[in-house]
Amino acid sequence: MSALYDIMIERFSDLTGIEYFTFAFNIFVYLFSNSIVSHHRDIDEDTIKSRTKILHGFNLLVFISFIASLFLKSEDFPADEISRTSLTLLASYLFFSAIEALLLSRYGEEIEVMGVSRKVETPTSRTLELVSFSIIVMTVIIGLINVWGITGLLETTGVIGFLALIVFTTKDYWLRDFLSGILVIGGNSAKRGDVISIPEAGILGIILEIRGLQTRIRDLAQGHDIEIPNYNLLQYRTDYLRKSKGGPFKDFIEFSIGYGVPSDEVIKYLNAVYKSASDSNSALDSLREPKITINENSKNAAIWRLTYVLERPYQLLLVRNAINLTAYDLQEEFGIDLSTPQLEKLVES
């Protein structure tokens, strides 16, 4: 035990200034990690937890490198390089968080998402975040090369050539999604709080965050989060379910009703369905008249469409469920059958 104690005392006396600074800075970041993650923006609880875990991961890396430098005293052990690497990664993450906060405060806007007002990114702030992230990543790579003394490649190709080599060898893993993110954000086609539908991917949800490579979406049906590559927003048909300059957002439900029912009776029935559903759901305006049309005269039924204005697009599924339930309950009262009519009837011989 005394030998181990002597080794630690000797090692502490040999610690460099950068090692002391790195360890002290790590302790400070760990103690105030929650404040560092959440003080600068109004983000949801899941994002705060995720970012806190990332920050604690950097803290653990710094702590392990410090402990390793105490017990692995050897000329071959790169204690100083490990300390500088840990400090570089931790500082770069904090630096990007600070830039993100600055851009959000300068270019962000206030919107209301599910009844909660919060400041969110704009196309300008998000595009600048992606550019800043790219610059920081490249700077960190060059910095780590210098820390570890692997400068031969830089001397041979130069900084520009090295960055070009990095981009070319890794482009298949990130470049497509990165550029897609810039196009989506720069074109203002998607932003946080939008309700989107991607039929080919089976996605209907609210955009929570558009990151450098992925977009995080809250599924409306199940309530869990989905992450999709940014390229999917351009590759597939994406419906943005929101109010636009063309007018309010509208949704519709279709019903298959047999040909034996008079049209005026069907119209009365569907109006009653809408009235009853709107009385129980604030997302529908009971004073606004729905639009009732026949969308198609199919082989075994007329396809009636009930079109209505939806004040809160994120309640789309809730409203659809309410209308379908009401339509089911009012069948007997209006003498209308919603079951699929049979095209053929069995005839007894």
Query: pLDDT (tens digit, 9 = 90+) per residue, 312-337?
Result: 888 889 899 999 999 999 998 898 98
* DSSP string for 176-240: HHHHHHHHHHHTTS--TT-EEEEGGGTEEEEEEEE-SSEEEEEETTT--EEEEETHHHHHS--EE
CATH of 108-242, one of 2.30.30.60, 1.20.1050.10, 3.40.50.10140, 3.40.50.300: 2.30.30.60
Output the pLDDT for position 83. 72
Give me the helices (H) in 238-315, please.
263-279
Contact predicate 312/281, CB 8 Å = no
How many other CB atoms are there within 10 angstroms of residue 9's CB atom?
10
Q: Could you tell me the fold of the domain covering 250-334?
A: Alpha-Beta Plaits (3.30.70)
Task: Give the angle 70-73-74 at the CA atoms, nearest 5°.
Answer: 155
- Give the confidence band of 291 by pLDDT, cuts at 50, 70, 90: very high
Query: Could you read off the pLDDT of 112-165 as tens digits, one per residue?
Result: 655 666 666 776 677 777 778 878 888 888 788 777 777 665 555 555 555 655
Give the three-class secondary structure for 74: coil
Pairing type for strands 195-198 and 239-240 reads antiparallel
Would you give the DSSP letter of residue 42? -
Contact yes or no for 98/105 (Cβ under 8 A): no
Element (H, E) at 292: strand 291-297
- Pairing verdict, β 291-297 and 302-309: antiparallel
Tens-place pLDDT, residues 4-49:
556 566 666 666 666 677 777 778 887 877 777 765 555 556 667 7
Which residue in this structure is represented by tokens 């983000």? Answer: 43
Q: What sign does the dihedral 325-328-331-336 (CA atoms) show?
A: positive
Domain with CATH 3.30.70.100 in the chain: 250-334
- CATH 2.30.30.60: which residues of the chain? 108-242
pLDDT category of residue 272 using cuts at 50, 70 and 90:
very high
Cβ proximity of 226 and 216 under 8 Å? yes
Token output for 53: 């875990």
Q: What is the pLDDT of residue 158?
A: 55
- Please give the Cα distance from 48 to 270 (Å, whole number): 46
> pLDDT-based confidence at 3, cuts 50/70/90?
low
**Of 185, 204, 187, nearest to 195 (Cα)?**
204
This prediction has a pTM of 0.56
Confidence label for 304 from pLDDT (cuts 50, 70 and 90): very high
Residue 226's DSSP bridge partners are 217
3-class secondary structure, 122? coil
